[in-house]
Amino acid sequence: MSIAERKEREKQEMKNLIIQGAMEVFLELGYEKTSIRTIADRIDYSPATIYLYFKDKDSLFLEVQHVSFGLLIQEMAGLADLDDPVSQLREMGYRYLQFGIEHPEHYDLMFIINDPLVCLMEDEKEWHNGHQMYQVLVGVVERCIQCNLIRMTDPQLATLMIWSTVHGLVALHCRNRLWAVGISPETMPSIGKSYIDQFIETIRT
Amino acid sequence: MSIAERKEREKQEMKNLIIQGAMEVFLELGYEKTSIRTIADRIDYSPATIYLYFKDKDSLFLEVQHVSFGLLIQEMAGLADLDDPVSQLREMGYRYLQFGIEHPEHYDLMFIINDPLVCLMEDEKEWHNGHQMYQVLVGVVERCIQCNLIRMTDPQLATLMIWSTVHGLVALHCRNRLWAVGISPETMPSIGKSYIDQFIETIRT
DNA sequence: TGACTTACTAAACACTGTTCAGTATCTTCG
DNA sequence: CGAAGATACTGAACAGTGTTTAGTAAGTCA
């Protein structure tokens, strides 16, 4: 079955080529302004070819999103080295925020864009990726609560609040709503750090 | 100049008719799926007519957004009756969250959607509306800090954090990202209340 | 070599935002 | 009143979109 294997491999390589091209264009132009024709042009194939490998634009987008999730998870490596759970929490906050500031397009694809992901039940892959990272956060928060280091008691609610607080800032930044309160994109990194520091100080016992 | 006045009035009425139709369609279909043709159909005019009253789709959208801001500001009426600033803060949180849950499409138009608002400098109207409400929040937070009722010292940073925390939850809810952490839309109202309560308890001294 | 399968594409369909030439109505002035 | 001019509106077109389909060319297998 060597030929069949090679065919399968070539098929996967073709998928990867499309995903890579799509990623480039998605990050350059954003989701809405990216057209299948542009992606096809980028990789020197016809638009119709893409539909032989992906059901539709959303389906292709989900694959790109999966790669983005991988990047963020990678960014969180080595957190367990910090033995203080509050330090872990702060460090996660720093890195999450930094990721949002440095890769707003990736962040947008993962947490803000509308279309797909509604079909979570159908797409196990994404669910798994996002859920996995959330569980890491839940673990850290649980340890903080167990050691009585933060002013919350319910791990689920606390985790949700912590995530939302950081996501809120990144989301407002990604969608340029912070101009209205006098924060320019350039000042975001320094404000972001103060933001996390203040938040940790506020919730810790 | 009676005729000129009448013309001016008719022009304004026509603008309002278009805005009203656009609002309906925007709320039904969302920003991206709304087409000028659909709006035109809804009010029985040709698509081209809309371009006599509004520069482009974004410009029309900004007018609709302005109406949405009015709704939210209206929702915040009577807050000064509560003499305890922390109660004011909690009540603002309740109402803001409820607005986001009850009118996710409006909320989307105001705080999540991408395209316009980037041109804040050009559009004084929106800036004014959003900034006004933010200033109300800043005022409440300042009083909380003055009375030493919350665990923060910098009003600007504190206000940003409080807004972001609530916005974060609403934004995740609007974009269906809470499914991934086991929260379904139906449970949002009750979770939302706990969320605000926990947040207030966490930040108060 | 002939039959079958696969990979790919040109062209079309139905949609989008936007523009423009042209019409039909209303206003103004002689 | 009637001609000239301004105003309000639209049909049709342009260039773009996601997606489908019929057809071609190449690779595989008997």
Same domain membership, residue A104 and residue A77: yes
Q: Give chain B's mean pLDDT.
A: 90
More confident: A38 or A81:
A38
- Strand D: which positions are within 7 A of a protein CB? 7-12, 16-22, 28-29
pLDDT band, very low/low/confident/very high, at B121 (cuts 50, 70, 90)? very low
Q: Which nucleotide is nearest to A58 (CA to C1')?
A: D18
Which tokens go with A101?
């500031």
pLDDT at A158: 97
Q: Is A13 contained in some domain?
A: yes
User: At A44, phi and psi to the nearest 5?
Assistant: 55, 45
Q: Which amino acid is at B16?
A: N
Chain A CB contacts of B127 under 8 Å are: 180
Instruction: Please write the tens of the pLDDT for every residue from B75-119.
Output: 999 888 888 999 999 999 999 999 999 988 889 888 998 744 444
Nearest protein residue to nucleotide C28 (CA to C1' distance) is: B3
The range of the structural domain enclosing residue B196 comes to 62-203
What is the number of structural domains in chain B?
2
Q: Which residues contact B179 (CB under 8 A, 6 or more apart)?
A: A120
Task: Kindly report the number of other CB atoms within 10 A of residue A18's CB atom.
Answer: 23
Four-CA torsion A132, A134, A137, A138, nearest 10 degrees: -100
Q: Which residue of B157, B194, B202 is in closest CB contact with A195?
A: B157
Q: How far is the CA of B55 from the C1' of D20 (A)?
A: 35
pLDDT at A113: 85
Same domain membership, residue B28 and residue B93: no
Q: Which residue of B120, B163, B177 is in closest CB contact with A111?
A: B177
CA distance A167 to A111: 8
User: What CATH number does residue A34 fall under?
Assistant: 1.10.10.60
Interhelix angle for B188-203 vs A155-174, to 10°? Answer: 90
Does residue A119 carry a pLDDT above 50? no
Same domain membership, residue A172 and residue A138: yes
- Strand C: which positions are within 7 A of a protein CB? 6-11, 15-21, 27-28
More confident: B104 or B47:
B47
Does residue B174 carry a pLDDT above 50? yes
Would you say how long chain B is, in residues?
205
Q: Which nucleotide is nearest to B46 (CA to C1')?
A: D10
Instruction: Please write the tens of the pLDDT for every residue from A129-160.
Output: 778 889 999 999 999 999 999 999 999 999 99
Same domain membership, residue B88 and residue B38: no
Instruction: Please write the tens of the pLDDT for every residue from A79-108.
Output: 888 889 999 999 999 999 999 999 888 898
Q: Is A59 contained in some domain?
A: no
Average of per-residue pLDDT across B124-144: 84
pLDDT at B127: 64
**How many percent of chain A have pLDDT more than 70?**
93
How many Cα atoms are found within 13 Å in the side-chain-facing hemisphere of A134? 23
